[in-house]
With several copies, the nearest count.
Chain A
Amino acid sequence: MIQDHRDELVRLDQAIGDADHGENMKRGFTAVVARLDAEPPDTPGKVLKLVATTLISTVGGAAGPLYGTAFLRAASAVGDASELDCDTVARALQAALDGVIARGKAAVGDKTMVDALTPAVAAASCAEGTVAAALAAAADAAAEGANSTVPMVARKGRASYLGERSAGHMDPGSRSTALLLRSFADTAAKS
Chain B
Amino acid sequence: MKKIINDPETVVQDALRGMQAAHSDLLTVHHDPAVIVRADAPVAGKVALISGGGSGHEPLHGGFVGRGMLAAACPGPVFTSPTSDQVVDAIARTDGGAGALLIVKNYTGDVLNFEMAAELAETEVRSVVIDDDVAVKDSLYTAGRRGVGGTVLLEKIVGAAAERGDDLAACEALALRVIASVRSMGLALTACTVPHVGEPSFELADDEMEIGIGIHGEPGRQKVPVSTASEMVAALLEPILSDLPFSSGDRVLLFTNGMGGTPLIELYLAHGIAEQLLADRGITVERRLVGPYITSLEMQGMSITLLRLDDEMVELWDAPVHTPALRWGV
Residues of A at the B interface (CB closer than 8 Å) are: 10, 14, 17-20, 23-24, 27, 56-66, 68, 103-104, 153, 155-158, 160-163, 165
- Considering the complex, give the chain B residue whose CB is closest to the CB of A61: B109
Q: Is the CB–CB distance between B83 and A59 below 8 Å?
A: yes
A18 contact set on B, CB distance < 8 A: 79-80, 194, 201, 216-218
Also in contact, A64 and B108, with CB within 8 A (given A20-B194, A23-B196): no
B13-34 CB mask vs A (1 if < 8 Å, else 0) is 0000000000000000000010
B112, B116, B216, B218: most-surrounded residue (chain A CB, <10 A) = B112
Q: Which of A17, A56, A103, A157 contacts B83 (CB 8 A)?
A: A56
**Distance from A66 Cβ to chain B, minimum over Cβ atoms (Å):** 7
Q: Is the CB of B143 within 8 A of A161?
A: yes
**Minimum CB–CB distance for A172 against chain B, Å:** 13
Task: Select from chain A the residue with minimum beta-carbon distance to B141.
Answer: A155
- Closest approach, in angstroms, between the C-beta of A58 and any C-beta of chain B? 6
Query: Which 7 interchain pairs have the tightest Cβ spacing?
Result: A65-B112, A61-B109, A160-B142, A62-B109, A57-B85, A62-B108, A18-B216
Q: Are the CB atoms of B197 and A64 closer together than 8 Å?
A: no
CB–CB B76/A161 < 8 A: no
Q: A19-B201, A66-B112, A163-B141 are in contact. List 14 more A-B contacts (CB 8 A).
A: A20-B194, A23-B196, A60-B82, A60-B113, A61-B80, A62-B81, A62-B107, A64-B81, A65-B109, A65-B112, A158-B107, A161-B136, A162-B218, A163-B142
Could you list 25 A-B pairs, sorted by A, with CB under 8 Å?
A: A18-B194, A18-B217, A20-B77, A23-B197, A24-B77, A56-B83, A57-B33, A58-B83, A60-B54, A60-B77, A60-B113, A62-B108, A62-B112, A64-B84, A65-B84, A103-B115, A155-B140, A155-B141, A156-B143, A158-B109, A158-B216, A161-B136, A162-B219, A163-B137, A163-B142
A20:B196 contact, CB within 8 angstroms: yes
**Shortest Cβ gap from B5 to chain A (Å):** 15
Q: Give complex CA distance A14, B197 in Å.
A: 9
The contact size tier of chain B is 35 or more
B206-245 residues with Cβ-Cβ distance < 8 A to A are 214, 216-219
Q: Give the A-binding residues of B (Cβ under 8 A).
A: 33, 54, 76-85, 107-109, 112-113, 115-116, 136-137, 140-143, 146, 194, 196-197, 201, 214, 216-219
Residue of B nearest to A10 (CB): B197
- The main secondary structure of chain A at its interface with chain B is helix
Contact B77 A56 (CB under 8 A): no
**A158 to B216 alpha-carbon distance, docked (Å):** 10
Contact A23 B142 (CB under 8 A): no
Contacts of A57 in B (CB 8 A): 33, 83-85
Contacts of B217 in A (CB 8 A): 18-19
User: In the bound complex, what is the Cα–Cα distance between A162 and B216 (angstroms)?
Assistant: 13
Q: In the complex, which residues of chain B have a beta carbon less than 8 angstroms from the beta carbon of A59?
A: 83
Instruction: Pick from B81, B107, B115, B136 the residue with the most CB of A within 10 Å.
Output: B81
Q: Which of A20, A66, A155, A162 contacts B80 (CB 8 A)?
A: A20
Question: B interface, by DSSP: helix, strand, loop or mixed?
Answer: loop
Q: Is the CB of B143 within 8 A of A157?
A: yes
Residue of B82, B140, B143, B214 with most chain A CB atoms under a 10 A cut-off: B143
Contact present for B80 and A158 (CB under 8 Å)? no
Contacts of A58 in B (CB 8 A): 83
- Among the interface residues B83, B136, B201, which one has the most CB atoms of the partner chain A within 10 A? B83
Least Cβ distance of B288 to chain A in Å?
28
CA distance A115 to B211 in the complex (A): 31
Q: Is the CB of A161 within 8 A of B108?
A: no
Complex interface: chain B residues within 8 A of A165 (CB)? 219
Question: Nearest Cβ in chain B — how far from A65, in angstroms?
Answer: 4
Chain A residues in 8 Å Cβ range of B196: 10, 20, 23
The CA of A163 and the CA of B136, in the complex, are separated in Å by 9
Q: What residues on B are CB-neighbors of A61 within 8 Å?
A: 76, 80-81, 109, 113
Contact status B219-A20, CB under 8 Å: no
Which residues of chain B come closer than 8 Å to A153, judged between CB atoms?
141
Q: Which residues of B contact A66 (CB under 8 A)?
A: 112
